[in-house]
Amino acid sequence: MLTVQKKLSVILLGVASAFLVPVTTGLAPSAMAAPSVAGLPDFTDLVEKTGAAVVNIRTTEKAKVNQGNSTSEDEEMQEFFRRFFGVPIPPRQQQPAPRGRNKPDAEAEEEVPRGVGSGFIISADGYVMTNAHVVDGADEVYVTLTDKREFKAKIIGADKRTDVALVKIDGSNLPRLTVGDSNKIRVGEWVIAIGSPFGLDNTVTAGIVSAKARDTGEYLPLIQTDVAVNPGNSGGPLINMRGEVIGINSQIYSRSGGYMGISFAVPMDEAMRVSDQLRTSGKVTRGRIGVQIGEVTKDVAESLGLTRAQGALVQRVEAGGPAEKAGVEAGDVILKFNGVAVERSSDLPRVVGSTKPGTRSTLTVWRKGAMRDLNVMITELEPEKAAKPEVKKAKPEQVANTLGLVVSDLTPAQVKELKIDGGVLVESAENSSARAGLRAGDILLRLNNTDIKDARQFNALVAKLDPKKTALLLVRRGDSSQFVTIKPHVQ
């Protein structure tokens, strides 16, 4: 089970019966509102209906082991570190060969346990869905059904971005789960999880949906629940009261490594899109536009003239990429993609990623107080290119302005290398600029809505700033650009 290490208070969640206490009033019985009575759900029929389609998954790897040195306790401890803390399995310590022997004869290659997890069957012919981290690095995958039949499975494909994997076992007329619509889930509705926590097969836990589309910094928004999920539950189904699988249990939110009342599941709508591509081609193809983005904070939104904090702030535009060819610039705020609003920066990679490469799309961006539409050709996602080295310092001017900045002009070679039309190099930062995080080597590209051409022009603009208002600087550091708010220093 993947864990998200955070600092948070420990909250014990549970289910308690609700008791209605009669209240005596002066009103006639007919005038009193009838209380709403709702009993706790009974999951027995639901578990009988769905449990047979949930499977246990164990993985092995081939390794050279010292036959007299491996113990089950060692393997359990390795699994503990890998599942709870997300770290690689520590290498098994080998005992030195006895003296007088050149080779450790007891050392041989054999299958050793790697991990355990859960999964569920989505087709009668044996397609099984689980988490990518459950099968990651496995040489062999074994699937065990509730009737104790065990199959050696073939990995069809795995997608680490969504943590979804598809494996196949040879079978027919197998029990399967019905896929539900994860877009229709409601916060507060009851759900159950079935899996093999700590290797305990067919364990059922229940809870409610705590939040929809929870952004945890991953590629896609997750379903948050208070269902008890522990190592071994990874890859198991999250099931609604209609017996439909609506998510794949994938992560827990914890600062201790154990369950603390918050768990996350991959929504089935995205999981099915991924599995369909894995089944067809063994991989997932996503679109890209070649930008690095960040959040639009409230201060940045106000300084840019936006009515509220929304969109994705472009920090870097890949040289020669689709966005650069479309005219996107660092400092733009992408508000819409094909007419669909981008509320948070994390929305953009998801909608772009789900767009087929080769599609021409429309970006609506906010630049210098106005919106404009740009046409961009979506290309296939590929590994990011290496960042360029930091620029070299130029000869500084010696006068600090009211922002606490000493700046100098860029050389023609620097302008050409950075592929920019202007800007100034920060030689030193003090007072409010230093507190805002600026430092020597940063490149200043824009002050409020005015492009910076050279040091003289920049210092003249700074001199005219209202000391009572916050200034907005577009700052480039390395290959990334971001807005920084600074209040002028009062002398």
Query: Over its length of 491 residues, how does the chain's per-residue pLDDT go in tens digits?
Result: 555 444 333 222 223 333 233 333 344 444 444 444 467 789 999 999 999 999 999 999 886 655 545 444 455 555 444 444 444 444 444 444 444 445 454 456 677 788 889 999 999 999 999 999 999 989 999 999 999 999 999 999 999 989 999 999 998 999 999 999 998 999 999 999 999 998 888 999 999 999 998 877 667 789 999 999 988 899 999 999 999 999 999 988 776 666 788 999 999 999 999 999 999 998 898 899 999 888 898 988 988 999 999 999 998 898 889 999 999 999 999 999 999 999 888 889 888 988 889 999 999 999 989 999 999 999 988 643 433 434 343 343 355 788 888 888 888 888 888 888 889 999 888 888 888 888 888 999 999 889 998 888 888 888 888 888 888 889 988 878 888 888 876 65
- Say which residues have a Cβ less than 8 Å from residue 384's Cβ, sequence separation at least 6: none
Q: Are residues 122 and 240 in the same domain?
A: yes
Q: Are residues 50 and 133 in the same domain?
A: yes
Q: Can you give the pLDDT at residue 1?
A: 56
Q: Are residues 122 and 202 in the same domain?
A: yes
Domain span at residue 273?
1-6+43-91+108-284
**Single-letter residue type at 417:** E
Q: Are residues 295 and 186 in the same domain?
A: no
Read off the tokens for 454. 């050279």
Q: Are residues 320 and 222 in the same domain?
A: no
Start-to-end CA distance of the chain, whole Å, equals 56
Q: Is residue 477 part of a domain?
A: yes
Q: Can you give the pLDDT at residue 434?
A: 83
Beta bridge partner(s), residue 333:
313, 366
Q: What is the CATH number of the domain that holds 481?
A: 2.30.42.10
Runs of H (alpha helix) within 51-131: 72-85
Instruction: Enumerate the known binding-site residues for substrate.
Output: 133, 163, 232-234
Q: Are residues 279 and 223 in the same domain?
A: yes
Q: Can you give the pLDDT at residue 218?
A: 63
Q: Is residue 34 part of a domain?
A: no
Q: Are residues 345 and 422 in the same domain?
A: no
Catalytic residues: 133, 163, 234
Q: Are residues 267 and 299 in the same domain?
A: no
Q: Can you give the pLDDT at residue 163?
A: 93
Cα–Cα distance, 365 to 337 (Å, whole number): 9
